[in-house]
């Protein structure tokens, strides 16, 4: 079974200024391909922090996806950190330069933009149909932009290259019940279906306690079975179905 | 200077089903107290993964804040993982039981709910004014609920206990310019102000390239200086101010 990690690089996420949107997107995309997203790390724009996180993740996961830090400004240090982690130099990649030339006129392709063509030796480029400046793949690490529209376009171009397993399916139902009233019955359902991952997520809306029960796994029939048993449990508890 | 890490525990975040909202909240709150949020990890509901991440983070940061996994259901395994990481047993905490009794009648305080009173030996409780089931502090680790409204209420009760430094301030301006046109001038501004963290964040709205320049630091005058120089740079480039 393939698994994956995401390494988000960016002070703007850690300061709370920017709400990350890439983890949820990649989590869904990977699940659809049967790849378990096992871990996410978010680190600052700091080379030792990036290198340490990357080395830990790339040796323990089938794939690592990074987001952020491959633009033209001084705070974009991801490519240099990846090169450092792999012990290779950066080189001005001729194909990356060609792609930038397709977007920028001669007067526009300044030193800052050419920095986006500095790619670790041995990497393969990842297409960027939005703004041309490529991402790259180095061994099992895919290096992508942080801007969500660009990350998505890059991922769409690489996802066919990933190992594919049975898609992770899910079913859910939301019940008007307090989680503690449901917990014991839900444990019995989980125990009867060890191959299904049963999750319980409480929420509070307008003073009303809701619980969403999510069943995840690769066998639709088993997920439907868990949902059916959950509805029986809800009926026994007199809990109304809020959704699902 | 105090720093911090967040450990988010929950399959629902990694599956992409739930969008995390706690990192951005805590990032802002910590910055306001002068505490640098250095790293975030998101791991699955898996005891070895939780223990490994916790041990790495708690030995390298002033504070660790965890979110998620302290409810009454079978998938709530955070308290047991924290106890394991610290090498102490769980105990039924009398004060936690008392708080649960204040919310639940005798017939309601079932085994599942009493699980929420199983706290590692030596921990101090963290108040939960929303639903009573407490979080706890163990050494430099604060264990909180994942439901955002409860996490926020818990954090409001503990933030006065944290070390306080000069608040991290920020200033920002959004310019209608392409990042690569701004990059070289921005590097010069950063070089003139090494004590300010200058970040550049591109976005694309309706085919228009925008860049938000953010200056972060503890000295308001210096941040204002960076903003003034950024506006001069924008004027030199003929870039309109979109915001700020």
Bridge partners, residue B138, by sequence: B141
The residue with tokens 């108040």 is: B127
Residue B238: strand, helix, or coil: coil
* Interchain pair A199, B75: CB under 8 A: yes
A12 CB neighbours in chain B (<8 A) are: 199, 201, 214
The residue with tokens 């997520």 is: A201
B48 and B96 belong to one structural domain: yes
Q: What is the pLDDT of residue B25?
A: 98
Check if the beta carbon of residue A217 is closer than 8 Å to that of residue A196.
yes
A186 and A89 belong to one structural domain: no
Say whether residue A72 is in contact with chain B using an 8 A CB cutoff.
yes
* Interchain pair B180, A17: CB under 8 A: no
Say whether residue B20 is in contact with chain A using an 8 A CB cutoff.
yes
A140 and A111 belong to one structural domain: yes
B123 and B176 belong to one structural domain: no
Mutate to test the interface with B, among A19, A111, A180, A205 (most CBs of B within 10 A): A180
B111: closest CA of chain A, how far (Å)? 8
B127 and B204 belong to one structural domain: no
* Whole-number average pLDDT of chain A: 96
**pLDDT at B244 exceeding the cut of 70:** no
Check if the beta carbon of residue A199 is closer than 8 Å to that of residue A213.
yes
The per-residue pLDDT for range B6-16, each reduced to its tens digit, is 999 999 999 99
- Report the C-alpha dihedral over residues B49, B53, B56, B61, rounded to 10 degrees: -170
Q: Predicted confidence band at B208 (pLDDT cuts at 50, 70, 90)?
A: confident
The per-residue pLDDT for range A78-127, each reduced to its tens digit, is 999 999 999 999 999 999 999 999 999 888 999 999 999 999 999 999 99
Q: Which of B161, B189, B205 is the last residue of a domain?
A: B161
B67 and B157 belong to one structural domain: yes
A138 and A233 belong to one structural domain: no
For residue A159, give the nearest of A82, A65, A55 by alpha carbon. A65
Cβ atoms within 10 Å of A173's Cβ, excluding its own: 19
How many structural domains compose chain B?
Answer: 2
CA distance A205 to A221: 31
Determine the average pLDDT of the residues in A227-231.
98
**pLDDT at B98 exceeding the cut of 90:** yes
In order of A206, B118, B200, B211, the CA distances from A132 in angstroms are 47, 54, 19, 17
A128 and A195 belong to one structural domain: no
A86 and A123 belong to one structural domain: yes
A72 and A189 belong to one structural domain: no
The per-residue pLDDT for range B109-150, each reduced to its tens digit, is 999 999 999 999 999 999 999 999 999 999 999 999 999 999
A170 CB neighbours in chain B (<8 A) are: 15, 17
**pLDDT at A207 exceeding the cut of 90:** no
Determine the average pLDDT of the residues in B77-86.
98
Q: Say which CATH number the domain at A220 has.
A: 3.30.70.600
Q: What is the pLDDT of residue A208?
A: 87
B10: closest CA of chain A, how far (Å)? 9
For residue A114, give the nearest of A145, A71, A75 by alpha carbon. A71
Say whether residue B26 is in contact with chain A using an 8 A CB cutoff.
yes
In order of A167, B140, B191, B202, B242, the CA distances from B209 in angstroms are 37, 43, 25, 7, 10
Say whether residue A145 is in contact with chain B using an 8 A CB cutoff.
no
**pLDDT at A52 exceeding the cut of 80:** yes
**pLDDT at A242 exceeding the cut of 90:** no
DSSP for B210-229? EEEEEEEES-HHHHHHHHHH
In order of A206, B72, B160, the CA distances from A103 in angstroms are 51, 56, 52
B139: closest CA of chain A, how far (Å)? 23
Q: Which of A103, A130, A161 is the last residue of a domain?
A: A161
- In percent, how much of chain A has pLDDT > 70? 100
Say whether residue B35 is in contact with chain A using an 8 A CB cutoff.
no
The per-residue pLDDT for range B209-221, each reduced to its tens digit, is 999 999 999 999 9
A9 and A79 belong to one structural domain: yes
Say whether residue A141 is in contact with chain B using an 8 A CB cutoff.
no
Q: Which of A135, A161, A187 is the last residue of a domain?
A: A161
* Interchain pair B14, A37: CB under 8 A: yes
Q: What is the ipTM of this complex?
A: 0.97
B155 and B175 belong to one structural domain: no
Say whether residue B204 is in contact with chain A using an 8 A CB cutoff.
yes
Q: What is the pLDDT of residue B237?
A: 95
B119: closest CA of chain A, how far (Å)? 17
Determine the average pLDDT of the residues in B17-27.
97
* Interchain pair B74, A149: CB under 8 A: no
- Report the C-alpha dihedral over residues A116, A118, A123, A126, rounded to 10 degrees: 10
The per-residue pLDDT for range B140-194, each reduced to its tens digit, is 999 999 999 999 999 999 999 999 999 999 999 999 999 999 999 999 999 999 9
* Whole-number average pLDDT of chain B: 96
The per-residue pLDDT for range A122-174, each reduced to its tens digit, is 999 999 999 999 999 999 999 999 999 999 999 999 999 999 999 999 999 99
* Interchain pair A179, B71: CB under 8 A: yes
CA distance B12 to A242: 19
Q: Say which CATH number the domain at B128 has.
A: 3.40.980.10
Q: Would you tell me which residues 77-136 of chain A have a C-beta closer than 8 angstroms to some C-beta of chain B?
A: 104, 108, 110-113, 115-116, 130-131
- Residue B176 structural domain: 169-243
* Interchain pair A130, B204: CB under 8 A: yes
Q: What is the pLDDT of residue A244?
A: 64
Structure tokens at B217: 């630091």
């Amino acid at each position: 079974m393939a698994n994956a990690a995401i390494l988000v690089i960016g002070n703007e996420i850690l300061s709370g200024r920017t709400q990350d949107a890439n983890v949820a997107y990649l989590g869904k995309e990977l699940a659809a391909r049967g790849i378990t997203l096992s871990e996410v790390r978010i680190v600052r724009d700091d080379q030792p922090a990036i290198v340490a996180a990357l080395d830990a993740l790339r040796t323990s996961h089938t794939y690592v996806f990074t987001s952020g830090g491959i633009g033209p400004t001084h705070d974009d240090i991801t490519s240099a950190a990846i090169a450092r982690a792999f012990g290779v130099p950066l080189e001005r990649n001729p194909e990356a330069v060609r792609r930038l030339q397709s977007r920028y006129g001669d007067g526009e392709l300044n030193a800052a933009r050419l920095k986006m063509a500095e790619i670790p030796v041995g990497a393969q480029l990842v297409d960027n149909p939005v703004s041309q400046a490529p991402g790259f793949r180095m061994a099992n690490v895919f290096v992508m932009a942080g801007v969500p529209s660009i990350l998505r376009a890059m991922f769409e171009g690489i996802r066919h290259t990933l190992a594919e397993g049975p898609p992770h399916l899910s079913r859910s139902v939301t019940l008007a019940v307090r989680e503690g009233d449901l917990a014991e019955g839900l444990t019995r359902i989980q125990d009867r279906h060890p191959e299904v991952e049963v999750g319980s997520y409480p929420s509070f809306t307008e003073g009303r306690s809701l619980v969403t029960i999510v069943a995840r796994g690769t066998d639709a029939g088993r997920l439907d079975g868990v949902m059916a048993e959950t509805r029986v449990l809800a009926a026994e508890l007199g809990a109304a179905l809020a959704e699902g």
